[in-house]
Homo-oligomer: A and B are copies of this chain.
Amino acid sequence: MGNTLKAAGETRAGDVLARMRSDIISCALKPGTKLRFETLRELYEVSFSTLREALSRLVAEGLVVAEGQRGFLVAPVSLFDLNDLTDVRVLVERQCIKLAIDRGDDRWEADIMAAFHRMDRLQSRLGASYYLSDEWATLHSAFHLSLVAACGSPNLLEIRQKLFERAHRYRRMSSQFRPQWRAKDVEHKMIMDRVIARDTATAQDLVDRHIRETTENVIAHASHLFAQSGTADAFRRPDPVAAE
């Protein structure tokens, strides 16, 4: 029964998960949208259970929120969330950088240079609008990961990756409106240099600024898209987890 396509060893739920994540990040599914099962079922051509599985995982990633027994929602965006997200990312990323520089070996340095090279070459090939390409987003993500891959903390890296994904959605929202992004590639090169030179303090500051300036850019050009909704309500998580 030839479905879309079912790559090697990939579970159906995983495939839907990836497609939905992509659609949420690209805002094909707009923030705050109610996700009705019937609609999704025909959109992604899978059954209720499979959808539910994917939705559950997206809730874990913070891209979808669950409302008790009233269904699911694309996680809303807001100025408050963006600022909070940015602060947490800076905290985590600074620590990752520090640990990676302390613990990284030659192999780690080589991987960074390789990741940068791949990203750099793709930018040249794609020209001015590289930032709109999914392929570039992947290489960009891989580059930033390579910088901190040697930090030696699986837990920190997992947290970092989830935050990076969430932030990606905000970045996409602004790139949509700002064809001429400022030259991130220069910053990337500087960060790489300072990291490989094991200059912890400077590397941390550069990454800090890299993140915060991007946020400022988003706020300047895309904040009109954000929900004015209350600072508190937009962040209710479904599960009070343990306490109470």
A residues sitting closer than 8 Å to B (CB atoms) are 9, 11, 14, 17, 21, 49, 52-53, 56-57, 59-62, 68-69, 81, 84-85, 87-88, 91-92, 95, 138, 141-142, 145, 152-156, 158-159, 161-165, 168, 235, 237, 239, 241-244
- 11 examples of A-B residue contacts, CB within 8 angstroms: A57-B60, A84-B155, A87-B153, A91-B91, A91-B92, A91-B95, A141-B243, A145-B243, A154-B237, A158-B237, A159-B159
What is the copy number of this chain in the assembly?
Answer: 2
CA gap between A155 and B69 in the complex, in Å: 23
A20 to chain B, nearest CB (A): 13
User: Residues of B contacting A153 with CB < 8 Å?
Assistant: 84, 87-88
Query: Majority SS of interface residues in chain A?
Result: helix
CA gap between A168 and B242 in the complex, in Å: 11
Which residue on B lies nearest to A161, using beta carbons?
Answer: B241
A73 to chain B, nearest CB (A): 16
Find out whether the CB atom of A138 lies under 8 angstroms from the CB atom of B242. yes
Of A17, A60, A168, the most chain B CB neighbours within 10 A belong to A60
A60 to chain B, nearest CB (A): 3
User: Residues of B contacting A59 with CB < 8 Å?
Assistant: 57, 60
Q: Which of B159, B164, B241 contacts A165 (CB 8 A)?
A: B241
